[in-house]
Chains A and B, each alone.
Chain A
Amino acid sequence: MKIDIKKTAHLARVELTAEEEVTLAADLEKIVEYVDALAELDTTDVEPTSHVLNLEDVYRKDVVMETDAALKILDHLAEEKKHETFFKVPTVIEQ
Chain B
Amino acid sequence: MNTKTIKDTIAHIAGDKAKAFQVLDALYERISSVEPQVGAYVNVSKEKSIEALSAVETSKLFYGLPVSIKDNMCINGWETTCSSNILNGFVPPYDATVIRKLKDAGAYPLVKCDMDEFAFGSSCETSCYNGRAFDQKKIKDGPCANPWDTTKVPGGSSGGSAACVAADEAICSLGSDTGGSIRQPASLCGVVGLKPTYGRVSRYGLIAFGSSLDQIGPFTKTVEDSATMLGIIAGYDEKDSTSVNVPVPDYTASLVNDVKGMKIGIPKEYFVDGMHPDVKKTIDAAIATYKKLGAECVDISLPHTKYAVSVYYIIATAEASSNLARFDGVQYGYRHHGQTIHDMYFKTRDEGFGAEAKRRILLGTFVLSSGYYDAYYLKAQKVRTLMINDFNAAFEKCDVILTPTSPTPAFGIGEKSADPISMYLSDIFTIPANIAGIPAMAMPAGFSAEGLPIGMQLMAPTFEEGRIFRVGYTFEQNTDHHIKRPVL
Contacts and interface: CB of A to CB of B under 8 A. Distances in A.
Contact of B362 (A14, A17, A51, A52): A14
B341 A14 contact: no
B321 interface: yes
B381 A49 contact: yes
Contacts, number: 150
Contacts of A11: 365, 369
Q: Which residue, of B244, B345, B362, B378, has the highest number of chain A Cβ atoms within 10 A?
A: B362
A14 B349 CA distance: 5
A34 B321 CA distance: 20
A38 B310 contact: yes
A72 B331 CA distance: 12
Given A8-B369, A12-B361, A14-B350, A34 B339 contact: no
Contact of A24 (B325, B346, B359): B359
Contacts of B462: 52-53
B386 interface: yes
Contacts of A51: 212, 242
A48 B381 contact: yes
B481 to A, nearest CB: 32
A64 interface: no
B347 A15 contact: yes
B192 interface: no
A76 B122 CA distance: 32
A73 interface: yes
A2 to B, nearest CB: 11
Nearest to A70: B93
Interface residues of B, number: 65
A52 B307 contact: no
A92 interface: yes
B457 to A, nearest CB: 18
B363 interface: yes
Contacts of B93: 68-70, 72-73, 76
B331 A73 contact: yes
A16 B350 contact: yes
A58 B358 contact: no
B223 to A, nearest CB: 25
B253 interface: no
B421 interface: yes
A88 B78 CA distance: 24
B46 interface: no
A94 B209 CA distance: 35
B284 interface: no
Nearest to B364: A12
Given A3-B366, A58-B241, A53 B199 contact: yes
B376 A35 contact: yes
Contact of A60 (B238, B328, B381): B238
Secondary structure class of chain B's binding surface, majority of residues: helix
B330 interface: yes
Given A27-B359, A92-B341, A8 B366 contact: yes
A18 interface: no
B363 A13 contact: no
Contact of A49 (B241, B350, B353, B384): B384
Contacts of A90: 337-341, 343-344
Nearest to A76: B91
Contact of B383 (A8, A12, A41, A52): A41
B212 A14 contact: no
Contacts of A60: 238
A70 to B, nearest CB: 8
17 contacts: A7-B369, A8-B365, A15-B347, A31-B363, A35-B313, A37-B307, A37-B310, A41-B304, A43-B382, A43-B386, A53-B242, A69-B93, A70-B93, A76-B93, A89-B344, A90-B338, A90-B343
Given A11-B369, A49-B382, 16 more contacts: A11-B365, A12-B349, A12-B362, A12-B365, A27-B420, A35-B314, A38-B311, A46-B386, A48-B384, A51-B212, A52-B198, A52-B436, A53-B199, A69-B93, A87-B330, A90-B343
Interface of B: 89-91, 93-94, 198-199, 212, 238, 241-242, 244, 304, 306-307, 309-311, 313-314, 321, 325, 328, 330-331, 335, 337-341, 343-347, 349-350, 353, 358-359, 361-363, 365-366, 369, 375-376, 378-386, 388, 420-421, 424, 436-437, 462
Can you list the 4 inter-chain pairs with the closest CB atoms, starting with the nearest? A52-B437, A48-B381, A72-B93, A15-B346
